[in-house]
Amino acid sequence: MEDMYRMDKAMNAQQDTKISARNVNVYYGDKHAIKDVSVEIADKTVTAFIGPSGCGKSTFLRCINRMNDTIDIARVTGNILIDGEDITDPRVDPVQLRAKVGMVFQKPNPFPKSIYDNVAYGPKIHGLARNKSDLDEIVERALRRGAIWDEVKDRLLEPGTGLSGGQQQRLCIARAVATEPEVLLMDEPCSALDPIATAQVEELIDELRQSYSVVIVTHSMQQAARVSQKTAFFHLGNMVEYGVTDKIFTNPEDPRTESYISGRIG
């Protein structure tokens, strides 16, 4: 029953497009890292990017919040629309864009600040809290959603860099959700996590889907199958196949997808 309801909701939600990428190409100097990728990412859905290492998943993800701007040699062409607005337009302020499109990086990167300040960083910058107790509340809620509250509630003032790798990653997830983004980009968020924390993060992703659009890069097919409704398969800079997750995993159209998910390439 519950499942039926969820499926239903997911199907309904898929009707409106949140992110629409058209003919996106990325070059690092002479290297052509993303080749003419077009994709429509729906609101209130989890979209998974899968593919062998070095195929450009992170690169494409970084286009969506214009993080590639920070790399001198990176050049992006094509258009990406979020809610119909072209974010590749030079007039769009990447700073405002990134407040709306949060990101969790492949490697945990907590700031050299206390756990509390790590999470409070975004809300403070964007003025989301009116006073201290407001901020306390935001921090606690974010840490709970990051599935790390119980572990750190007694040591909020200790440095975030003193946590274990998996705890750091969950702290970074909490930090990203604290700013209440509309889109959350997650680059292999679970690669440093144990199965319990992974399950908690997956639960969080499922919960976030109610209100946001989530894009997740993962090397785990099981994870992609568990959390996502749509899956895109990348190979050597091309987006080879994009569709409903169940279909990609049970009945892929492209032979490259087929051999990747059955473990023959990658």
Name which position in 55, 156, 184, 248 contacts ligand ATP (CB under 6 A).
Answer: 55
Contacts 24+ apart (CB under 8 A), 123-128: 123/178, 123/179, 126/99, 126/179, 128/179, 128/180
3-state percent breakdown (helix, strand, coil) of the chain, nearest 5: 40, 25, 30
Residues 47-66 that bind Mg ion (CB under 5 A): 58
Name which position in 44, 57, 98, 235 contacts other proteins (CB under 8 A).
Answer: 98
DSSP run (H or E) holding 176: helix 165-178
DSSP letter, residue 161 = G
Amino acid identity of residue 54, one-letter, is G
Name which position in 21, 41, 46, 57 contacts ligand ATP (CB under 6 A).
Answer: 57
In this structure, the number of other CB atoms found within 10 A of the CB of residue 139 comes to 23
Query: What does 55 interact with, of other proteins, ligand ATP, Mg ion, none (CB < 5 to 8 A by kind)?
Result: ligand ATP
* 204: helix, strand or coil: helix
75 binds other proteins (CB under 8 A): no
| Per-residue binding letters, 210-249, with ligand ATP (x by CB under 6 A) | ----------------------------------------
15 binds ligand ATP (CB under 6 A): no
58 binds ligand ATP (CB under 6 A): yes
Name which position in 54, 162, 165, 255 contacts ligand ATP (CB under 6 A).
Answer: 54
Q: How far is the CB of 203 from ligand ATP (least distance, A)?
A: 24
* 166: helix, strand or coil: helix
| Burial category of 223 from C-beta neighbours within 10 Å (exposed 0-12, middle 13-18, buried 19 and up) | buried
Residues 35-74 that bind other proteins (CB under 8 A): 65, 67, 70, 72
* 21: helix, strand or coil: strand
The residue range among 27-35, 139-147, 172-180, 194-202 that interacts with other proteins, by the rule CB under 8 A, is 172-180
Q: How far apart are CA 241 and CA 248, in angstroms?
A: 8
95 binds other proteins (CB under 8 A): yes
Name which position in 56, 102, 122, 160 contacts ligand ATP (CB under 6 A).
Answer: 56
Tokens of 88: 């590749």
Q: How far is the CB of 73 from ligand ATP (least distance, A)?
A: 6
Instruction: Give Rg (Cα) of the chain.
Output: 18
28 binds ligand ATP (CB under 6 A): yes
186 binds ligand ATP (CB under 6 A): no
Binding residues for ligand ATP (CB under 6 A): 28, 31, 33, 53-59, 71, 73, 106
